[in-house]
Structure 1
Amino acid sequence: MAALVGAVVLLGSGCEDATPKKGADKPAAATTGAAPSASPSTPAMPALVGQKFTDAEAAVKKLVSRPVEARSAYSDVPLAPDHGTWAVCFQTPAAGSPLEPASAVELSLVAPGRPCPDEAGAALAPSKAPAASRTPALPKPKTSPPTDGGSTGGDGGGTGGGSSVYFKSCAEAKAAGAAPMRRGQPGYREALDRDKDGIACDK
C-alpha cells in the first residue's frame, strides 16, 4: 500500500513539473513578438533658394501633402499668375529643418533677372518722398505811399519821421507812386540811392 501511494505522489510531481515549464514558455514568446519596429527617420527640408519655383515645388511635393504657398519676395511687387520661372529667394522652413507630411511650406519668389531683397517682404522701390523744398516766403514790404503829407516831388521839406514805409526796390517804389524819394522822405534809404545824390529811385 505504501508503495502504491509513493507511485501516485511521483506521478503527481511529474505533472506539476511539466505545467510550469509550458506556462513559462508562453509569456517569453509573447514578449518577443511585441518588440516595436524602428520608425523611419523624418525627412529634412531641402535647400531651395536659387531654384525655379516649378523645380522647388516638385521637390517639396515629394515630402509634404499640403500645397506649397508661393508669394512675392517684394511687398510692392505682385506675384504673377504664371510664376513657374520665378526664383526662390527665401524658404520656410529653413533648409535642413525636419519636415512632416503636414508641414506648411512657403517660398518667396522674385521675377527672372531681379535680385533678391535683403529680407522677405521688403519694398522694391521704397518710398522716397523727400520733404518738398520749401523756400520761406519773404514778407512783402509795405509799399503804401507816404502818409505824412510830404510831397514826393518836393525839395526835401518832408522828414518822414515815424514812417514805416519800406520799399525793397525802386520798382516797388515806382509802382506805389512814391519815386523818386529824397533823403528824409518816407521810403528813402541809401541802398536805393545808387549815385548817392540824396535822391532815391530818380532814374
Structure 2
Amino acid sequence: MFQPSGYRARRGFAVVAIAGALALTAVGCEDPAASKTADKPGGPVASPSAPAAASAPSAPPTMPSLIGRKSAEAEALVKPLVSKPVEARSAFSDVPLAADHAQWAVCFQTPAAASPVPPDTSVEMSLAAPGTPCPERAGAALHPAKAPAPAKTPVPAATPGKPKPPAASPTAAPGPKDVVYKNCAEARAAGAAPIRRGQPGYSRTLDRDNDGIACDT
C-alpha cells in the first residue's frame, strides 16, 4: 500500500520519542542512595574472601620396629625422628656393653613399635652380642650363679692335753624278756653270760656273790 513520504517521517519521529521516554524511565528507576554511596570515596567495598581454614597439625611419626635389627641400622632409623640421642645398653646384667656395638642385635626397645614418637621422646635399646640369643627379659643374667653347696658342720678338734672321753663298752644283746636259765652253764651255752642285773635271764640264783652280775665266774 502506498504511503506518502510525510506520513513515514511522522512515524519515525514517533518511534524515536517512545525510545527516549523509555530510556528516561529506566534512569529514573535507579536508587539514588546507592548511586551516591558508590560515588563516595569511602563507600563500601567488596568484603575480602574468608581466609582459608588453618591446616590441622600433623600427627607425630610412629616408632619403627627395631627388634632383630643391628644397632647401627636401628639408630639410623630413629635419629631423624627424635632430638635426644638413642640410649643403648646390654640386654644381660652380667655382660657389659662393648664400646663398638654397631653389630649387636636389638632384643628390646622402648617405646614399642607403632607408638607415637614426639621429638622429645627418649628411645632405649637393649642389645645382645653377635651369636648370643636374647634373654627372656631385659636385665637377665647370661651366666646365672650356681647355688652354694651347704657348709659342712666342722668337727671339733681334740684339745691338746685333754683326754678323750672313754668309748662306751659294748653290752651283750639282751635276750627275750621271759628267758630263764637253769644254771650258768646253760647261760654260757646261750652266749648270755655274764648277765647283769636287769637283763633278761638274770636271777639271784645265778648271782652267787650278789654283786649284780650273774655267771661272772
Same topology, TM > 0.5: yes
Q: Deviations over 1:106-135 (max 9, x none)?
A: 100000011111111112222323342435
Amino acid corresponding to residue 189 of structure 1 in structure 2: P
Displacement, 1:63? 1.6
2:169 pairs with one of 175, 180, 188: 188
Structure 1, gaps ≥5 residues long: 1-6, 146-164, 168-186, 199-203
1:12 aligns with 2:30: no
Alignment of 1:1-203 (within 5 A): 11-16=32-37, 19=43, 22=45, 25-26=47-48, 29=49, 31-33=50-52, 35-135=53-153, 137=155, 144=163, 166-167=166-167, 187-190=168-171
CA 1:74/1:11 → structure 2, altered by over 3 Å: closer, same or farther? same
Compared CA separation, residues 40 and 138, structure 1 to 2 (3 A): same
**What is the rounded CA distance, in whole Å, between the counterparts of 1:92 and 1:15 in structure 2?**
73
Residues 17 and 166 (structure 1 numbering): CA distance in 2 closer, same or farther, change over 3 Å?
Answer: farther
Q: Residue in 2 aligned with 1:170?
A: none
The more displaced of 126-135 and 96-105 is 126-135
Give the residue type in structure 1 aligned to 2:96. Answer: P
Q: Percent identity?
A: 49
Deviation, structure 1 residue 197 = 9.0
Q: In the aligned structure 2, how far is the partner of 1:135 from the partner of 1:97?
A: 58
What is the CA–CA distance in structure 1 between the aligned matches of 2:87 and 2:73, rounded to whole Å?
14
Partner residue in 1 for 2:201: none
Alpha-carbon RMSD across the aligned residues, in angstroms, is 3.4
Q: How many positions carry a matched residue from both structures?
A: 142
Determine the C-alpha separation between the residues in 2 that align with 1:50 and 1:44: 18
Q: Which runs of 5+ in 2 are unaligned?
A: 1-27, 173-190, 195-217
CA contact (8 A) 1:190 1:196 kept: no
Distance change >3 Å, CA 87–CA 196, structure 1 → 2 = farther
Higher-Rg member (1/2): 2
Q: Please state how far the C-alpha of 1:44 moved relative to its aligned partner.
A: 0.7
Amino acid at match of 1:60: V
TM-score by length of 1: 0.57
**CA separation of 1:81 and 1:197: change in aligned 2, threshold 3 A:** farther
How does the TM-score come out when normalised to structure 2?
Answer: 0.54
Return the offset for 1:75: 1.2
Please give the per-residue CA displacement for 1:46-84, whole angstroms capped at 9, x wherever unaligned.
000011101111111122222111000111111000111
